[in-house]
Amino acid sequence: MLVSAGMLYAQSTVTGYVYNDANGNGKRDRREQGVAGVAVSNGIQVVATGADGRYELPIGDDNVIFVVKPAGYTVPVDENNLPKFYYIHKPNGSPQLKYGGVAPTGPLPKSVDFPLIEKQEPAEFTALIFGDPQPYTDEDMENFNRAVVAEVKGIQNIAFGLSLGDLVGDNLSMHKPYLKTTAQVGVPWYNLMGNHDMDYDAAADSLADETFEASFGPANYSFNYGNAHFIILDDILYPDPRDQKGYWGGFRKSQLDFVENDLKYVGKDKLVVLAFHIPLLHEDEGSFRDSDRQRLFDLLREYPNVFSMSAHTHLQRQNFYGKEDGWQGDKPFHEYNAGTTSGDWYSGELNEQGVPVSTMRDGTPKGYAFLTIKGNQYTVDYKVVGQPKDVQLKLFHPKVVARGRGTQSGIFANFFMGYKDDRVEYRIDDGAWKPMSHVEAPDPDFVGSLYRWDTTDELMPGRRPSNAVISTHLWRGDIPANLPVGEHRIEVRATDLFGRTFIQQSTYRLVDPL
């Protein structure tokens, strides 16, 4: 675990040092100084190191001890670029599980020490965000590798990566191939647990993360980078406490106790970034336990700069929570429900690489995101796989229209990162800009792709996509039929949540009616 340990003996507390590993060898050498004021946790309680870098925490037989990486330091990574900031203490190992969980760790070391390496961290930095890689098969893993990882392999100026759960699709033996795949990106890579990363044969929710812990470390943890504090949480309750079947979005009390204890060491001037798998939405058939969301909101109430990320839905949307949802902050609580790197579960027509296009059910192409933080402010960019970074809109409209004849056809703009209150406008040729209307409807381009599957005379390679759902980021404008015969240019411009404008162009033809 890249922690150093002295003589082993049994105890009910864990103690050790957080130290400046000046020579980077992962061992606390005699002249290496402790680092004061660094938070360390057992997954519930959080303490700060003393002047000499020493900490002490209570411990049981099922704990993951971890250091909360402070700003201005980095932690070691293993051969897969997995940050090693934790020590697993399970003397007897996990209960018997299909995928094994954690092997017995034996007696607790006399000293569990955490190395830190000084590293300058800029106030402005960018993290790479993956939603739901979720490969079920080796073929899925290869498609993830070829379409997504290959595109960002060796990327520069990225502080770290983070996958928002569903790292694999139920087969937890694929955790290792997943780690080897993301390692190629070449940056430290953090992970959180999704509902398809759980031990489904676990007898209790607290044990559903055993194999995840063996592969990735704690399912609940935090770290600092620049002026931001990241809190990573497992928000899947399994089995569902309502009927002991399936799962439910929410937190155990101990997890929220950890958040409360963790925030005691986080200044109000920080940007607090939360990441979890299932969105906090309560409107979707009770998909999240209201009381847990409320306590989380209450804990964060005094932090003016808060942002959260989720995945899970295989859609993309911006969720905002206000007083009607229990959030009492001065401005709405923003949750970015990220599009996925698996798209619509590796379905759809094959592209020129032979990889499924995997457009999501709301018309969002598969892709990944960049979270850029400057001080305690943030912006998010979505990158469509295989497309230039400025492709943020997809237009759908007739290619040819009868001149002078009214039509109920329209110009549709799917603004992938859009929110209903965004300004989306269009113009024809060099005419005046006109507002487009936000509509709640399925994306017509995606619906058209389904018709190709449903009307083909020959079996198509790949797998038919899921049925379309209402898109939350679709706009419509009328298509003029009273212009001269010939080709006309459509321009659509959209301004996002952060005040940035994107333009997409297309053309249609007007011809005299037959």
In a domain, 20, yes or no: yes
Cβ(142)–Cβ(353) below 8 Å: no
Listed as ranges, residues in the chain with pLDDT below 70 are 1-11, 283-286
Sheet containing 73-74: which strands, arranged edge to edge? Answer: 54-58, 13-20, 114-118, 73-74
Q: What is the pLDDT of residue 90?
A: 96
Domain check: are 241 and 337 in the same one? yes
pLDDT digits (tens, 9 = 90+) for 180-203: 999 999 999 999 999 999 999 999
The model carries a pTM of 0.95
What are 371's strand-pairing partners?
Answer: 127, 380
Residue identified by tokens 């920080």 is 270
In a domain, 70, yes or no: yes
Domain check: are 328 and 376 in the same one? yes
Q: Among 350, 336, 414, 412, which residue's Cα sits nearest to residue 386?
A: 350
Q: Give the DSSP H/E element, type plus range, for residue 448.
A: helix 444-455
Please say which residue of 384, 409, 428 terminates a domain. Answer: 384
Q: What is the pLDDT of residue 286?
A: 67
Q: What is the pLDDT of residue 9?
A: 42
In a domain, 122, yes or no: no
Q: Write the CB contacts of 439 (distance below 8 Å, at least 6 apart in sequence).
A: 412, 474, 475, 476
The domain that contains 332 carries what CATH number? 3.60.21.10
Q: Give the DSSP H/E element, type plus range, for residue 374.
A: strand 367-374
Domain check: are 95 and 141 in the same one? no
Domain check: are 361 and 411 in the same one? no
Domain check: are 37 and 183 in the same one? no
Domain check: are 90 and 211 in the same one? no
**C-alpha to C-alpha distances, 361 to 315, 436, 508, 509, nearest whole angstrom:** 7, 22, 26, 29
pLDDT digits (tens, 9 = 90+) for 122-145: 999 999 999 999 999 999 999 999
Per-residue tokens: 176: 């290792």
Distance CA 108, CA 90 (A): 9
Per-residue tokens: 95: 């209960």
Domain check: are 375 and 399 in the same one? no
DSSP alpha helix (H) spans, 51-185 = 138-144, 150-152, 175-183
Domain check: are 156 and 239 in the same one? yes
Counted domains in the chain = 3
How many Å from the N-terminal Cα to the C-terminal Cα in the chain? 75
Q: What is the pLDDT of residue 2?
A: 45
Q: For residue 371, what are the domain limits?
A: 127-384
Q: What is the pLDDT of residue 514?
A: 86
The domain that contains 42 carries what CATH number? 2.60.40.10
Strands (E), 268-332: 271-275, 306-310, 317-321
Domain check: are 5 and 94 in the same one? yes
Distance CA 195, CA 358 (A): 21
Q: Centre a 10 Å sphere on the Cβ of residue 136 and count the other Cβ atoms it contains.
A: 16
Q: How far is CA 218 from the centre of its chain?
A: 17
Q: Give the DSSP H/E element, type plus range, for residue 255.
A: helix 253-263
- Please tell me whether residue 195 adopts helix, strand or coil conformation: helix
- Please tell me whether residue 342 adopts helix, strand or coil conformation: coil
In a domain, 378, yes or no: yes
In a domain, 230, yes or no: yes
